[in-house]
């Protein structure tokens, strides 16, 4: 609370500044004009109740380029041959081990023959060619003569 000379006018000039997002978290705001602060300002107190939420970010999991099995004949033949080799190594099948064996027979050649997608930047228009040009332009910035 601010008082003019002669105590004719009083104005509130002390504020609690808070982000608009947390405006509804303010429970109770009080001014204590009798507090001895040795200034013309008054003491303000507020009770703020926040519920903070942990933000989970998705992990960038690389995906397999499975389209290469249709388009690239070398990848297709190599993958199929590798799966057949894995499958032919096993002479007998137990009912319990059959599923695990089939999984391993497919996973191992997949890791060898089918490449994963490269992690792309946020903007899909940002290609590897553009990033290479940006890096090439960034290098001579340290040397003003070349820049």
113 burial type by CB count under 10 A (0-12 exposed, 13-18 middle, 19+ buried)? buried
pLDDT tens-digit profile, the chain (147 residues): 566 666 677 776 667 888 888 888 888 888 887 767 677 677 788 899 988 888 888 777 778 888 888 888 888 898 888 888 887 877 666 677 777 888 888 888 888 888 888 765 567 777 888 888 888 888 877 777 766
The answer on 124 and 73 residing in a single domain is: yes
The answer on 75 and 44 residing in a single domain is: no
Tally the domains of the chain: 2
Domain contains 83: yes
Domain contains 142: no
Q: Are strands 10-11 and 43-48 parallel, antiparallel or unpaired?
A: unpaired
The answer on 92 and 126 residing in a single domain is: yes
The answer on 75 and 29 residing in a single domain is: no
The answer on 117 and 84 residing in a single domain is: yes
This prediction's pTM? 0.41
The answer on 76 and 37 residing in a single domain is: no
The answer on 77 and 125 residing in a single domain is: yes
Domain contains 79: yes
The answer to whether residues 48 and 25 touch, using CB atoms and an 8 Å cutoff, is yes
The answer on 90 and 40 residing in a single domain is: no
The answer to whether residues 43 and 37 touch, using CB atoms and an 8 Å cutoff, is yes
Domain contains 26: yes
DSSP element (H, E) containing 142 = none
Domain contains 143: no
Task: Give the domain range for residue 96.
Answer: 68-137
Domain contains 61: no
- How much is the pLDDT for 110? 85
- How much is the pLDDT for 3? 65
């Amino acid at each position: 609370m601010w008082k003019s000379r002669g105590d004719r006018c009083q104005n509130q000039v002390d504020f609690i500044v808070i982000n608009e997002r947390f405006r509804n978290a303010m429970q109770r705001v009080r001014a204590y004009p009798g507090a001895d602060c040795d200034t013309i300002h008054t003491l303000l107190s507020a009770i703020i109740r926040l519920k903070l939420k942990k933000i989970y970010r998705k992990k960038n999991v690389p995906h397999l380029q499975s389209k290469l099995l249709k388009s690239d004949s070398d990848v297709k033949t190599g993958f199929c041959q590798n799966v057949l080799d894995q499958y032919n190594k096993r002479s007998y099948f137990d009912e319990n081990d059959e599923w695990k064996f089939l999984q391993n027979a497919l996973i191992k050649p997949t890791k060898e023959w089918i490449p994963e997608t490269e992690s792309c930047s946020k903007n899909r228009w940002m290609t590897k060619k553009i990033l290479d040009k940006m890096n090439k332009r960034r290098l001579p910035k340290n040397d003003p003569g070349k820049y």
